Amino acid sequence: MSIVRVRFAPSPTGHIHVGNVRTALFNYLFAKNQNGTFILRIEDTDLERSSIENENIIYEDLMWLGLEWDEGPVVGGNYGPYKQTERTLIYKKYLDKLLEEKKAYYCFCSKEELDAQREKNLQEGKNPIYSGKCKNIPLAEARQRIEQGEKAAIRFNVTESEVKVKDILKGEIDFPTNMFGDFIIVRPDGTPVYNFVVVVDDALMKITHVIRGDDHLNNTPKQILIYKALGFELPEFAHIPMILGSDHSKLSKRHGDTSVNQFRQKGYLPEAFFNYLALLGWSHPEEKEILSRQELINAFSLERISKSAAVFDFDKLNWMNGIYIREKNIDELYSVAKGFIKCVELSKYDEQWLKNVVFSVREKISVLSEIDEHIKIFFKQSEPDDESIKLLNLETSSAVLERYAEEIKKFETLTVDDYKAITKIVGDATGAKGKALFMVLRIALTGQRTGPDMDKIATLLSPKTQIERINNVLRFIKK
RNA sequence: GUCCCUAUCGUCUAGCCUGGCCUAGGACACCGGCCUUUCACGCCGGCAACAGGGGUUCAAAUCCCCUUAGGGACGCCA
């Protein structure tokens, strides 16, 4: 029994996309479920788009979600280095081997030439594949030309006509190789391309299962060819379906937030995001939905990953995030929420009071960033809208407000019981009930028709403040 | 255009491999009701799907074929 080793191999070209992070998540869950090793590798061979800043962003995003890697940059490991730009010598060794064995060859064709050829093929309805022009240039001659300053790419010499891919999710698939022809494995500037390095790295890092998005399915035959040419043992492949936007096209910016840090900034809880993502394309054997990290790890299996693409459902994510928010106790909630409070300066207020305020609106929000608009009523009375004004103009309204103000005057603070007793008295005295009583009080005290429970508002706001607000409203009504 | 993948409620999905228990189950959203003498939360209920056509079979959402639709790939990106 070989120990499971899987990897997540992002290229540091920007923020991690939800599709990619879900791939990372599945790799992580599989590794942990199997007691295996989860490896992070940075695929930075595209020098133009890769950067150190982006690497750090990747680390941060993964850490936020708790996808800690057992081997990789920062933490190290026995199969490093874990950044491809630091592995060039390794690649060179295998490249030379291929070249010597005529399994690859130098290609001197210019980009313009190839583009033209591709154009022509396409127009003639043929597959845009390489003609094989440089295939027979002897290696010695090619090396000489390069020595003299010529630039050459290296192409893989495809000799088989068909490649079989065995995939855990999709089964056995046959690919005709005339789809791609002799593909490039090294650019003229000497940097090896993805399809080559991924094979060398996965093989050398002893990756047992390659779990990745199914947009890579078409690359797999090329990679298998390289595995074989180099004499490496094949890993198992599992190509997981894509994540789509609401219009069923590949999820992109126009569908809303798509990068991990955007979700983080909006106030999604990592455990909720983790849970939601796990259920996007995978299902629990008992169809449970709210699952902790450990439950997810315990229940995970590649077999239960669905084969079809999934639409990212923001509504369901919101619902789930709301559940996680409501599960937090008052201290936990405050510690995750305080960073999202922008409407006031926290240091000016008593912390326990702030905690109570935040806790009082927890049913109202599905993401933490919504907290501001819900707690602002505790700091400032807002202007009533037309509908509210109608309610304030009810016959009983001013009597309700006057009586309520009168009753709370003698209190330093109100308890829930005080509040209940007082509203009972006010109701009895004025004949107002239901909306005429509670909605009117709510509007007078906050300016709004929705908000936290009335008893929360009444106990959290000092009677002095409440009276001030009521007087403001009373003056407004009498005008 | 060529190749590859996929196809159950609007969405995420269970069921499919190992046909009968499926008058197709759950969740989100939506709509009703209840609970709070208010808004939510919560609870209860409702709406809503096997893409189409052929087979195979006593029996098909489940197995086979075709069509259609969607997605992906066809890079000196990963």
Q: Is A253 a catalytic residue?
A: yes
pLDDT tens-place string over residues A334-354: 999 999 998 888 889 999 999
**Strand B nucleotides below 7 A of a protein CB?**
1-8, 10-15, 25-29, 37-42, 70-78
ipTM of the complex: 0.94
Same domain, A390 and A455: yes
Same domain, A417 and A341: no
Report the share of chain A in percent with pLDDT over 90: 64
Same domain, A346 and A289: no
Indicate the residue among A292, A327, A362 that finishes a domain: A327
| Identity of the residue numbered A146 | I
Nucleotide closest in space to A49 (CA vs C1'): B77
Give residue A222's pLDDT. Answer: 97
Range of the domain at A342: 329-379
Indicate the residue among A364, A379, A394 that finishes a domain: A379
pTM above 0.95, yes or no: no
pLDDT tens-place string over residues A174-220: 999 988 999 999 999 998 999 999 999 999 999 999 999 999 999 99
Same domain, A8 and A61: yes
pLDDT tens-place string over residues A351-368: 999 999 999 999 999 999
Query: Distance in angstroms, CA of A129 to C1' of B75?
Result: 11
**Total count of domains within chain A:** 3
| Residue A30 domain-assigned (yes or no) | yes
| Residue A83 domain-assigned (yes or no) | no
The b-or-e profile of A138-161 (16+ CB within 10 A means b, else e) is eeeebeeeeeeeeebbbbbbbeee
Structure tokens at A241: 């379906």
Query: Distance in angstroms, CA of A165 to C1' of B5?
Result: 13
Instruction: List the one residue out of A151, A46, A52, A75 whose CA is nearest residue A108.
Output: A151
| Residue A113 domain-assigned (yes or no) | no
* Among A253, A342, A390, A464, the one annotated catalytic: A253
Distance CA A83, CA A152 (A): 25
Query: Distance in angstroms, CA of A107 to C1' of B32?
Result: 71
Distance CA A220, CA A163 (A): 9
Structure tokens at A390: 């109608």
Q: Which residue is nearest to nucleotide B28 (CA to C1')?
A: A316
| Residue A410 domain-assigned (yes or no) | yes
Going from the C-alpha of A96 to that of each of A89, A100, A245, the distances in angstroms are 11, 6, 44
A16: region left, alpha or beta (phi > 0 left; psi from -120 to 50 alpha): beta
pLDDT tens-place string over residues A85-144: 999 999 999 999 999 999 999 999 988 888 888 888 877 777 888 888 899 999 999 999
Nucleotide closest in space to A317 (CA vs C1'): B28
Rg (C-alpha) for chain A, rounded Å, is 32
Indicate the residue among A303, A327, A351 that finishes a domain: A327
| Residue A116 domain-assigned (yes or no) | no
CATH number at residue A465: 1.10.10.350
